[in-house]
Amino acid sequence: DTEVTQTPKHLVMGMTNKKSLKCEQHMGHRAMYWYKQKAKKPPELMFVYSYEKLSINESVPSRFSPECPNSSLLNLHLHALQPEDSALYLCASSQGDASNEKLFFGSGTQLSVL
C-alpha cells in the first residue's frame, strides 16, 4: 500500500463551524505533513510531525490545530475559519525526516469557507 488517503475530498463550512480533515497512511512512514495549496500556487508547508511529535509549525494561525493520534493518522482540526482559508489541503508522508526523502502526497481536501 503506497497511498496516502485523505477524507473528505470536498468540504464546505461556515465561519462558525468546527470540522476535521483526516489523513491516513500504512507505509510505516514516520514523518507526516500538512500543506495548504491555493489555486495556481505551490503548496505551502503548515505542520510537520516527526515520530508523532510536532516538529515544525510554520506560524500557522491557531484556528488550525493539528493532531497525530498515532504513526498512521494525522488530523487537522478547523475552527472559526475565514473565507481566505479556502484552499486545497494536502497531507503528505515520508519514511523519515531526512532532507532527500521522497514525499508521498494524498489527493487533498478541497475546502470552501463561506
Q: Binding mask 56-95 vs other proteins (x if CB under 8 A, - otherwise)? A: x---------------------------------x-x---
Instruction: Give the whole-angstrom CA distance, residue 29 versus residue 95.
Output: 4
Instruction: Output 50 or 75, the one with its CB closest to other proteins.
Output: 50
Q: Quick one: cell of 96?
A: 523519515
In the bound complex, what is the minimum distance in angstroms from residue 64's beta carbon to other proteins?
Answer: 18
Binding window for other proteins (CB under 8 A); candidates: 11-19, 61-69, 70-78, 105-113: 105-113
How many chain residues bind other proteins (CB under 8 A)?
26
> Judged by CB under 8 A, does residue 16 bind other proteins?
no
* Contacts of other proteins in 23-62 (CB under 8 A): 31, 33, 40-43, 45, 48, 50, 55-56
Instruction: Give the whole-angstrom CA distance, residue 24 versus residue 4.
Output: 6
- DSSP class per residue in 36-67: EE-TTS--EEEEEEETTEEEEE-S--TTEEEE
